Chains A and B, each alone.
Chain A
Amino acid sequence: MLGGDSMERILIGKPIVPGSAKGRATVSTQPISFWGGINPRTGEVIDRRHDRSGTIITGKIFVFPRGKGSSTSSAVLMESIKAGTAPAAIINTKVDPVLALGAIVADELYHKTVPVIVLSREDFDSIDEGDYLIVGPDGKVTIKSHAHFYSNPKSSDTDEQAM
């Protein structure tokens, strides 16, 4: 259902890998290793200990505190960019050079990338699941709260699946 207050908020982030994107936020409170954590063929979160296990992040603005784990995570991000399964953008609270690297090498090789933005903890925490976000090349993140765009903020693909 469209409607409600036309409120929007603007957050000033740091563009680690600059670019433009828009999409709905998939929010996690947990760090993730893209290798072992994301299937680049399907865009699914496959870390079965992760709070978003089972979620498809393709086309979403993937909001999670930071990368961790495998150094192959850059390869998984680049492969998902090539395969078209990547998130639309990545928003973290802490720079993970491994993820930035995947986005940068994809840009060099395929002239395609996903923007990587770092926000302050407070701004990061202010993003809700399902918020519609517009990421600008200067690191600006415009939030349009999901309630104004969607009658059902949690679509079925955000449901956690049992193993």
Chain B
Amino acid sequence: MLGGQCGDAARLAMSILVRMAEVYEAPELMDVTQAHIDGCALMCDSGLEFAENLVALGARVSIPTTLNMIPLDLQNWGRLGIPEEFANKAIRIARAYTDMGCIPTWTCAPYQGYLTPRFGQQIAWGESNAIVYANSVLGARTNRYGDYMDICAAITGRVPKSGLHLKENRKGQSLLRLVDIQPQLLRDDTLYVALGHFIGGLFQEGIPVIEGLPTSATNDQLKALGAAAASSGAVALFHAIGVTPEANTLKEAFQGEVPEPVINVCFSDLRRAWLDLSTAEEGAELDAVVLGCPHFSYAEFQQLAQIIEEQGRLPHPGVRVLVLTSQTSYALLQRGNFIDTLLSFSVEIILDTCVFHSPIISPDAKVIMTNSGKCAYYAPGELNVQVAFGSMRDCIRSAIEGAVCWGETAWKES
């Protein structure tokens, strides 16, 4: 490929991969059989130039390749007030990647849609939350690939043979024991976010093994844990004993080695993480609630509809309720029987994109609330807002009150 016999696009992609193999200190390249592209997410001139340059050179992906969100809700951007110039550029980014043969999934939760990787499958994924989910929850194998290496891997079908592609590098590197956590809290969605935020801050990297999560942990809870850990840190793989597929036992998670170090995680540790996720105070006037970071699943829509029905009140007129999701989940939602509940609560369902990549939230907004650790981590810097983190129920109650409020949560006590 470097010789150009496979075309100029493959030569460019391969030359980047070969340089990256040196960075990874990989002795050789290896095959991957699926890719997920994060390079289409950011609105920037260089990213557009890179993608259009590849298309001009005749680039085609050689393996099944899904796409992360793009900077635009392709259906609703007019209604959302996105400037036309911005939209046109976003559409060019989208088109460049579909022209290369990528599948227009446009989601940051590709593991809950089309083409979910298999256990043990060697893949090249971008998008930090998707990477940690693929490795940890699915047991597929990918390194933490950044923008533009993902498409190089998709074009060539190759990556440096290194890191998490190799079984010996997937063993646990520290044991986190959850101690003295109330069983009720172990079922609470916010526990998973606080734990993820804590883990990312504590380790930055390395492979944590969590002991003490219940087998009832849902895919959405593990999604939230991974997304938070991959924001406050660089976690690309975690194991949870009895929950994730490479950790049926402690021995399996550590590949027979003695767990070391062992760290006890107490309620007070997680409470500190919970507190750190919010920069807004209780009672702060709220501009928007943001749910769906990563993209909402059908199960999360069900949960939301149930909460809205329980509350039986409409949101405060000054508060927007935004839910970010994929076309895949939206298609299911349209077939379900509760979309009217959401629409009557003025829920704005945003497709294909996210509030960080598309200018959906007004620059005048001062305070947002979210149930996502990832959103809570990045919102102050990217959106220039104060952020409150809370459960989905607290987000909806706050939307109704028009101000940040936390209900009867265990985190507030003690």
Contact = CB atoms under 8 A, between A and B. Distances in A.
Interface of A: 16-17, 31, 33, 35-37, 40, 46-49, 53, 65-76, 78-79, 81-82, 94-102, 104-106, 108-110, 163
Given A35-B42, A79-B45, A71 B381 contact: no
A95 B382 contact: no
B145 A47 contact: no
B39 interface: yes
Interface centre among A40, A71, A108, A163 (most CB of B within 10 A): A71
Please provide the 5 A-B residue pairs with the shortest distance between their CB atoms, ordered closest to farther: A74-B146, A98-B146, A46-B381, A75-B147, A48-B380
B191 interface: no
Interface of B: 12, 15-16, 19-20, 23-24, 38-39, 41-42, 44-47, 49-50, 53, 126-128, 131, 143-150, 200, 204-205, 230-234, 276, 279, 356, 377-378, 380-382, 386
Contacts of A71: 38, 126-128, 131, 144-147, 150
A31 B42 contact: no
Given A69-B233, A71-B147, A102-B148, 20 more contacts: A31-B233, A35-B42, A36-B231, A36-B377, A71-B126, A71-B145, A72-B38, A72-B147, A75-B46, A75-B47, A75-B147, A97-B23, A101-B23, A101-B147, A102-B147, A104-B23, A105-B16, A105-B149, A109-B53, A110-B46
23 contacts: A31-B234, A47-B381, A48-B279, A65-B204, A70-B128, A74-B146, A74-B148, A75-B148, A79-B44, A79-B46, A94-B205, A95-B23, A97-B24, A97-B145, A97-B146, A97-B149, A98-B146, A101-B20, A101-B23, A105-B16, A109-B46, A109-B49, A163-B380
Most buried by B among A16, A40, A69, A94: A69
A71 B233 CA distance: 12
Contact of A68 (B19, B42, B143, B204): B204
Contacts, number: 140
